[in-house]
Amino acid sequence: MAVHSYWAHVFLLPKSVIEGIERICRSFLWYGTSFSSKPGPIKWEDVCKRKKEGGLSFRNLGLWNTATLGRHVWAISTKQDNLWIKWVHSVYIKNQNWWEYQPPDDASWSWKRICAVKDELKHRGLQQQVGRMQKYSASQIYWLLAGEERSVVWSEVVWNRFNRPKHGFCAWLCMAHRLKTKDRLHTMGICQNLTCLLCGSDDENHKHLFFECQFSRCLLQDIKGWFGISNQTTDLHQVIRKFQRSSASKIQRRTFYAAICALIYMIWKHRNDVFWQNQQISIDVISKQIRQMVVSRIQVLNLKKVRVRDQFWLNSMCN
């Protein structure tokens, strides 16, 4: 991502090149290869949303290229003191208003592209912001172009440094309802038997697995009990919201979120182990594994400047 962001900063990239690079990034993210014709579980536009909006904050290369080229638009608009700016003003723009200017038919491809970026910024209502900038910020213009959407309640659960990365990634897919549960496989024509592999008494779908299923519900109650939570809520978003509203400290919140992500990961892993290897493990063993994973992760983080109250709480959780 950094490499293509860099080149988008330096060159005017044709649309076909931008699409080609995005195809490689998409394929690498979902399948670990440079080329795959299969679509990913989450749309690329959604992957490029901010983390607080449910994405991965990846750059949309087309928008990023527009934002970086905006630097030239800004430099011309504010008449920066350099030779190229003086040249375009005397050869192309002359005494015309830059924001109204249209390039002649015989102008070069790159000049037409800069003019197109100028028109796009104007069309998106960013003319004044660009013109007022003392120093150009491509990042600021990028996020203005990307627009803002509603934040999701679970972003701080998934993007939490107390999580192991693979737990956070699995929880991200779960929160977006994109794990390939049996009901989804059935609509793809892959799976005929919809029975849940964990309880065997109902159909497997996202809502059932997280956490209407008797097996996963017991695990959730067990983990909630570890944090001293006694309510019977099984709705994942409500569980998160209730904890967010509690008087828990930042460290307590992060630890709880790490446990929720580890729980989601372990339920999904166990479901896959049953599916592929017919390997059944008891609730007690999985619960123990979740606690161990959370505790070992916190120990690896080697937290500093922890308040006495939190340290006491962490010790009680680790023992």
Residues of the shown chain interacting with Zn ion in the complex, contacts defined by CB under 5 A:
196, 198-199, 213
Handedness of CA 177, 182, 183, 184 (dihedral sign): positive
Task: Look at residues 124, 13, 29, 122 and name the one whose alpha carbon lies nearest to residue 61.
Answer: 13
Nearer to Zn ion by Cβ, of 88 and 199: the residue is 199
Nearer to Zn ion by Cβ, of 212 and 310: the residue is 212
CB of 279 to Zn ion, least distance (A): 16
The Cα–Cα gap between 252 and 316 comes to: 12
CB of 198 to Zn ion, least distance (A): 4
Task: Look at residues 193, 185, 163 and name the one whose alpha carbon lies nearest to residue 290.
Answer: 163
Q: What is the dihedral of CA 209, 213, 219, 224, to 10 degrees?
A: 90
C-alpha distances (whole Å) from 17 to each of 25, 65, 66, 145 are 12, 11, 14, 20
The Cα–Cα gap between 265 and 262 comes to: 5
DSSP state, residue 189 = T
CB of 203 to Zn ion, least distance (A): 9
Does residue 146 contact residue 244 with C-beta atoms inside 8 Å?
A: no
CB of 202 to Zn ion, least distance (A): 5
The Cα–Cα gap between 166 and 281 comes to: 21
Nearer to Zn ion by Cβ, of 79 and 177: the residue is 177
Cα 20 to chain centroid, rounded = 21
Does residue 286 contact residue 219 with C-beta atoms inside 8 Å?
A: yes
The Cα–Cα gap between 68 and 142 comes to: 8
CB of 157 to Zn ion, least distance (A): 23
Per DSSP, the three-state class of 106 is coil
CB of 235 to Zn ion, least distance (A): 16
Nearer to Zn ion by Cβ, of 23 and 184: the residue is 184
Nearer to Zn ion by Cβ, of 213 and 266: the residue is 213
CB of 194 to Zn ion, least distance (A): 11
Nearer to Zn ion by Cβ, of 22 and 204: the residue is 204
Nearer to Zn ion by Cβ, of 121 and 196: the residue is 196
Angle between helices 250-277 and 236-245 (to 10 degrees): 160
Nearer to Zn ion by Cβ, of 11 and 275: the residue is 275
CB of 213 to Zn ion, least distance (A): 3
Residue with tokens 């013109």: 131
